[in-house]
Amino acid sequence: MLASDDDILARAEDWRKAGKGVAIATVIETWGSAPRPVGSHLVIDGDGNFLGSVSGGCVEGDVITQAVDVIEDGKPRTIEFGVADETAWRAGLSCGGRIRVYVEKVN
């Protein structure tokens, strides 16, 4: 069972209250066959702990790594994964679609 948006946002708030750095990743666009719909979230703390999903597990590792960088440098970024993208193959996105994910620091 996937975490609800309420659970994800509550976890982000809990981590912030505990003094942790936090980022949230959101699916902002999809094309073709995509594992998660637009609006799906993944929340990540500075230690790499996470809750939620932006891809059903196939690119979460790369999103988490980039989210930790966002927490450290404070610069949001948009990342894209797709079946023709070498990074996506390495990360495991072989569903035939493409996703675009926006990652931002939670202040």
* Per-residue pLDDT reduced to its tens digit, 22-68: 999 999 999 887 888 999 999 999 999 999 999 877 789 999 999 99
Q: Which two tokens mark 27?
A: 């699916």
For the entire predicted model, the pTM comes to 0.86
Note the maximum CA span of the chain: 40
Residue 87 has pLDDT above 60, yes or no: no
Task: Tell me the average pLDDT across 12-23.
Answer: 97
Q: Nearest Cα to 55, choosing from 94, 10, 20, 5?
A: 94
Q: What is the mean pLDDT of the chain?
A: 87
* b/e burial code for range 39-56 (CB count within 10 A of at least 16 → b): ebbbbbbbeeebbbbbbe
Q: What percent of the chain stands above pLDDT 90? A: 65
Distance of CA 26 to the CA centre of its chain: 6
